[in-house]
């Protein structure tokens, strides 16, 4: 299986919601992401605001490249990221691809 971070998101409107079984399997490949209904969610902790904003900016670049955008809640020393594909009515492979790419920011 190709690592999720090496994949590219499907164009808008072409992604389909994953089954519960597929979601459970893909969650095993991510680092500390959790399912919250129809959303993938993770809290990224940081030492300070500067690190938090650097992460937000890197995330924005990934979102732009993939044309798939999360909901984000930005705080002084953490950022909460939530992915869901609203067009598909649930969690799609696109959400997992982007989550994996964000996790990849910490292995560079």
Q: φ, ψ for residue 41 (rounded to 5)?
A: -140, 145
pLDDT in tens, 78-107: 999 999 999 999 999 999 999 999 999 986
What domains appear along the chain, each with residue ranges and CATH number?
A: 36-108 (3.30.1360.20)
pLDDT at 108 > cutoff 70: no
- What is the model's pLDDT at position 17? 96
Contact 75, 35 (CB under 8 A): no
Q: φ, ψ for residue 85 (rounded to 5)?
A: -100, 100
Q: Which residues contact 62 (CB under 8 A, 6 or more apart)?
A: 98, 101, 102, 105
Measured distance CA(49)–CA(63) in Å, rounded: 21
Contacts of range 53-57, beta carbons closer than 8 Å, 24 or more positions apart = 55/79, 55/105
pLDDT at 48 > cutoff 60: yes
């Amino acid at each position: 299986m190709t690592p999720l971070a090496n994949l590219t998101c499907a164009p808008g409107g072409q992604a389909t919601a994953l089954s519960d079984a597929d979601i459970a399997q893909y969650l095993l490949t991510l680092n500390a992401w959790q399912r919250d209904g129809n959303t993938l969610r993770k809290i990224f902790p940081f030492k300070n605001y500067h690190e938090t904003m650097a992460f937000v900016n890197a995330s924005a670049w990934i979102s732009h490249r993939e044309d798939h955008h999360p909901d984000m809640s930005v705080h002084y020393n953490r950022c909460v990221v939530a992915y869901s594909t609203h067009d598909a009515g649930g969690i799609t492979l696109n959400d997992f691809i982007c989550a994996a790419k964000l996790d990849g920011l910490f292995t560079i």
